[in-house]
Amino acid sequence: MIFDTHCHAYWRGLENREEAVRANMSAAGVCGSIQIGADIESSRLALDTAIRWGAGAWCTVGIHPSDCQDISVDSCEKIMRELDRLRESRSDKVVGIGETGLDYYHLTPGKEASQKEAQFAFFAAQARLAQRLDLPLVIHTRDAAADTIGLIKENGVRRAVIHCFSEDARFAEELTSWSEEIRFSFSGILTYKNARAIQDAAVYLPLDRILVETDSPFLLPAGAQGENGVNEPAFTRHVMDFLKTLRPEPPEIVEQIVWNNSLAFFRISDKFFLKAGQRRFPTGDHAGTGISG
């Protein structure tokens, strides 16, 4: 069983073929998904999708660095209140805050300083919200590795996932030693020919730190036949199968541990995935709903 810990199925290219998207997920063994919010409107859509999909689907609420960089820092608290109201309306479905983070790739020339300042402020606010609610933080980072590590430490962020991991083993090492509750989520980028540093990190990391995702509709994995080239949650299977080729553990153990990691990190009970009479996954250090080290 595979868990897509980061997708946007409400987005263009996926939102109008929901039935096929869900059928493809079942066929690929992708039984769990988390719909990720990137601003107030998409957080609402993420929640609506999670509710509509029922068991096996959850969501986050948050504001992406590129979506907050042109918003006045003064409205930060107001936006946090709105996100929190949304969460409160269905706290059973909202399992994280974000995606937040830093994105220096999409800065506007001439506006870099003020846009970075906004990204910092919205990160700090979402980190506080996540801490207050005891929820994990979903972190995006692009062309901003050193500052992202700095922000995580300054804000005392311990329980977080670096989503769509595209840094190297040194970056991973710095954060694994910072907190036992940091996870690294690998996307289709892992399967790309030029992704050697990312693949090295996927081998270096302890398996219990690893999650997988699609970030669909973006980042089609190598070898996946997406409708009109669009990525979809079912292709978490491609990421998982590629990860298995990299890891020293037996393939079935890789799939099982990464599944257990997903439930533990987001504190999702496995009761949502058990049909009557079905056997639970073997329990052990990685099972249960707490975070294992």
Q: Which residues bind Zn ion (CB under 5 A)?
A: 36, 215
Among 241, 239, 230, which residue's Cα sits nearest to residue 9? Answer: 230
Question: Strand 30-35 vs strand 2-7: parallel, antiparallel, or unpaired?
Answer: parallel
Q: Smaller CB distance to Zn ion: residue 103 or 215?
A: 215
Q: Smaller CB distance to Zn ion: residue 192 or 218?
A: 218
Residues 6+ away with beta carbon under 8 Å from 36? 6, 7, 8, 46, 59, 60, 62, 98, 99, 138, 163
Q: Smaller CB distance to Zn ion: residue 67 or 208?
A: 67
Q: Smaller CB distance to Zn ion: residue 96 or 273?
A: 96
What is the nearest approach in angstroms of Zn ion to the Cβ of residue 111? 23
Terminal Cα distance for the chain, rounded: 22
Q: Smaller CB distance to Zn ion: residue 36 or 257?
A: 36
